[in-house]
Amino acid sequence: DVQLQASGGGLVQTGGSLRLSCAASGFTFDDWGIGWFRQAPGKEREGITLISKGGVEKYYADSVKGRFTISADNAKNVYYLQMNNLKPEDTAVYYCAVSIGKAAQILGIFAPDSYDFWGQGTQVTVSS
């Protein structure tokens, strides 16, 4: 089965950096993308970035553009989210997810319904 494991969260001060990892396994689909979402207490899930198969295309939400960078180690099937200049508003549980086929193109790259499988999430806390 498809498995996604997010890791790398922690506690940092405002302006600090973290690098999240998403280890993916168990899928051999022709077309897919890996997305990162976050969810703060009492808030809806927010899509923040997506990387296409092979890392050819990358997309970022305005809230993280210029601060966060998504990348892939294709050989290891691991996807990274480098987060710089962190702010308290970035505090959330961060999830990686996989979108299979054309769902993201049809429904939106940052729409949770575009994603078929989700990792367990990793907590990021940014202190002021």
Quickly list DSSP for 62-125.
Answer: TTTTTTEEEEEETTTTEEEEEE-S--GGG-EEEEEEEEETTHHHHH-TT-GGG-SEE---EEEE
Encoding tokens for residue 33?
Answer: 């993308």
Give the pairing of strands 117-118 and 46-52.
unpaired
CA–CA distance, 6 with 15 (Å, rounded to integer): 22
Indicate whether 49 pLDDT > 90: yes
Q: Residue 27: what pLDDT? A: 81
95 phi, psi to nearest 5 deg? -120, 140
Indicate whether 62 pLDDT > 90: yes
Sign of the Cα torsion 1, 109, 11, 21 reads positive
Q: Residue 29: what pLDDT? A: 82
User: What average pLDDT does the chain have?
Assistant: 94
Encoding tokens for residue 63?
Answer: 């809230």
The average pLDDT across 10-25 equals 97
- pLDDT band for position 103 (50/70/90)? confident
Indicate whether 1 pLDDT > 90: no
DSSP 41: T
